[in-house]
Amino acid sequence: MKVSTYQNNALRAYGSSKSIRAVRRSIGLLVLLIMLVGLPLAVKAQSSAQGSQTPAAGADASAAQAAAADPSYIIGADDVLDISVWKEPDVSRSVPVRPDGKISLPLVSDVQAAGLTPSQLAADLTTRLKKFLNDPQVTVIVTAINSRRIYIVGEVARPGAFPLLPNMTVLQALADAGGFTTFANTKKIHILRMINGKQTEFPFEYREVLEGNKTSENITLLPGDEIVVP
């Protein structure tokens, strides 16, 4: 028995639609597979990018916390201060210390901040604000340290400028730099420091210091010191 032309066309149409549905299912499965594979890679890349920024941010936060806890910390240019006047939000604010060592606040205009401790600056601001406010209570907190930095250059994983924490030693600073490269000559590390306008060099033999043989070379760093890893 012969199949009519109408039946042949219907069968061909059914076969075509079935093929299209199969292709669509294959494409859908392929897209789902790409999403499942790509998502973890994207998350990992984002985590890596965030992780690469964390150490510097963490070091800055640690330095600021250490400064806030140290009553003898001396404010310097480019530091950022949080100045809070109790019940006076219009006067309270976060301000940077300008290169000339001064800060600007409402009512008192320009005030010298560099060279003072946070408590000394708070006392000075309290005295100045008494002319305008009734019994002002001022708190000064260092939120970012930009005036106290040391520099690590040469064959380290992360060369650059680093916040100087209180009583930071050479060994501690090198730990912040993420370790040495394969080309580092750890026997020739040295620290450069300006003393009375003259550059002075201090030797630092990493392995000897690490083994406790030359602990005197693990000096306490000062602002502006440069650690050179050849």
- Interacting residues of 35 by C-beta distance below 8 A, sequence separation 6+: none
Is pLDDT above 60 for 48? Answer: no
pLDDT band at residue 71, thresholds of 50, 70 and 90?
Answer: confident
Read off φ and ψ for residue 17, nearest 5 degrees. -65, -35
Is pLDDT above 50 for 204? Answer: yes
pLDDT tens digits, 81-103: 999 999 999 999 999 999 999 99
Is pLDDT above 90 for 135? Answer: yes
Can you tell me the distance from the alpha carbon of 12 to that of 94, in angstroms, rounded to the nearest whole number? Answer: 76
Can you tell me the distance from the alpha carbon of 16 to that of 22, in angstroms, rounded to the nearest whole number? Answer: 10
Q: Please say whether the beta carbons of 187 and 207 come within 8 A.
A: yes
Can you tell me the distance from the alpha carbon of 108 to that of 89, in angstroms, rounded to the nearest whole number? Answer: 15
Q: What is the pTM of this model?
A: 0.60
Report the pLDDT averaged over residues 204-215: 95
Report the pLDDT averaged over residues 114-128: 96
Is pLDDT above 80 for 26? Answer: no
Is pLDDT above 90 for 7? Answer: no
Q: What is the dihedral of CA 29, 33, 35, 36, to 10 degrees?
A: 130
Is pLDDT above 90 for 51? Answer: no
Paired residues of 150 in beta bridges? 162
How much is the mean pLDDT over the chain?
A: 82
Return the pLDDT at 57.
Answer: 59
Report the pLDDT averaged over residues 200-221: 96
Can you tell me the distance from the alpha carbon of 124 to that of 115, in angstroms, rounded to the nearest whole number? Answer: 13
Return the pLDDT at 168.
Answer: 94
- Interacting residues of 11 by C-beta distance below 8 A, sequence separation 6+: 3
3-class DSSP state for residue 11? helix
Return the pLDDT at 138.
Answer: 97
Is pLDDT above 60 for 5? Answer: no
Is pLDDT above 70 for 53? Answer: no
pLDDT band at residue 190, thresholds of 50, 70 and 90?
Answer: very high
Can you tell me the distance from the alpha carbon of 177 to that of 211, in angstroms, rounded to the nearest whole number? Answer: 20
**Residue 217 CA from chain centroid, whole number:** 28
Report the pLDDT averaged over residues 160-183: 93
